Amino acid sequence: MADLELLKKLCLLPGISGREEAVREAILEEIRPYVSSVTVSPLGNLIVEKKGAAPAKIKLMLCAHMDEVGFIVTHITSEGLLQFDKVGGILDSVICGRAVTVWGKNGPLEGVIGCVPLHLGKVGDKPLPADELYIDIGAADQEEARKYVSPGDSVTFDSIWDTEGGTIKSKALDDRAGCVMMVDLLKQDLPFDMTFAFTVQEETGLIGGKTAAQAVLPQAAIVLESTTAADVPGVSEGRQMCRVGKGPVVSFMDRRTIYCREYYETAFALAEKLGIPCQTKEGVAGGNDAGAVAPAGTGVRTIAVSLPCRYLHSAFSLIAQEDFENAEKLVKALAEQIAGSDPAQGI
């Protein structure tokens, strides 16, 4: 069973790109008794070796990123308001009016992202870009605000944790859910040696995935992710990409990677054998750490297994608990089959 308590803990921790320390420490606390070796890279990747019952025939790396999208303080105005920029891809339409936490020098501060009041705007106005918004922490002026906040401080969405109706709703499910799946696997006995990379700075350029792959030089990789489910009103069936509740998602291609066709087909065969649903990502969009892992060394055969997730990169994303459980089962079976395959004969 997937560890929902750990997922809650990780999702509610702060960890924008480049500020993943709290998430990494929480993961380390969970996995230390179960692993053979732990390395923290100069940029903050957590690379873990897990000994199995036998050496792997194919060197396999499983990968999930620890960082989340958010904001960073860039300037404090004379009125004590905080100007900011985005960290990662966030639509302007999901920003204004959101409650946020500013991680200042003396601890967290609650704030709200403000803009020109509705009554002073015009009907049909488009959402204001981030550089025309501000964060209000209630400071009287710049002098007061500087007691608590400095440029460079990170800002995260305030969120909830809710598991009603068989779903999970929270911030940062992308990709704390993938991290929890890897932690769950690390706590189990494995038939083969495997490497697990908890990476940094995926949302700002796949930096951690690139450096992890260069350090490990795997022959094969499974990237665990959350991906856009657009199964909502107003989106035609052909543009929905994937659907919540219909099982883990396997991609054939995105904007950064053409995935291993053999692994793609194997994933569906294993899902059928396990009696769990599995779906194709029906479109070529987005990207993930696979885009940096696949080109490493002489090339890494790569597959991405993702959770269908609504409202990605916002304060409140949503996945299905059943998809979470089934993705973990599929990843375990896929990892064992890849690691135990004869390189001369393929998977």
Q: Which residues are catalytic?
A: 202
Integer-rounded Cα radius of gyration of the chain: 21
Whether the Cβ atoms of residue 215 and residue 40 lie closer than 8 Å to each other? no
**120: phi then psi, degrees, rounded to nearest 5:** -100, -5
CA torsion, ordered 95, 99, 100, 104, to nearest 10 deg:
130
**Which regions of the chain does DSSP assign to beta strands (E)?**
37-40, 46-50, 60-65, 70-76, 82-87, 99-104, 107-114, 134-136, 154-157, 167-170, 194-199, 220-228, 249-250, 279-280, 301-309, 317-320
Pairing, β 46-50 against β 107-114: unpaired
| 18: nearest Cα among 80, 112, 135, 103 | 103
Q: Could you tell me the CA-to-CA distances from 143 to 75, 81, 105, 150 in Å, in that order? A: 13, 11, 14, 11
Tokens of 191: 């038939």
Query: What's the N-to-C CA distance of the chain in angstroms?
Result: 27
Contact in structure between 172 and 160 (CB atoms under 8 Å): no
Q: Specify the residue for token string 């944790």.
A: 161
Residues 6+ positions from 195 with CB-CB distance below 8 Å = 47, 48, 49, 50, 59, 60, 61, 62, 216, 218
User: Do residues 271 and 334 lie in contact, with contact meaning Cβ atoms separated by under 8 Å?
Assistant: no
- CA-CA-CA-CA torsion sign (173, 255, 241, 62): negative
* Residue pair 156/90 in contact by the 8 Å Cβ criterion: no
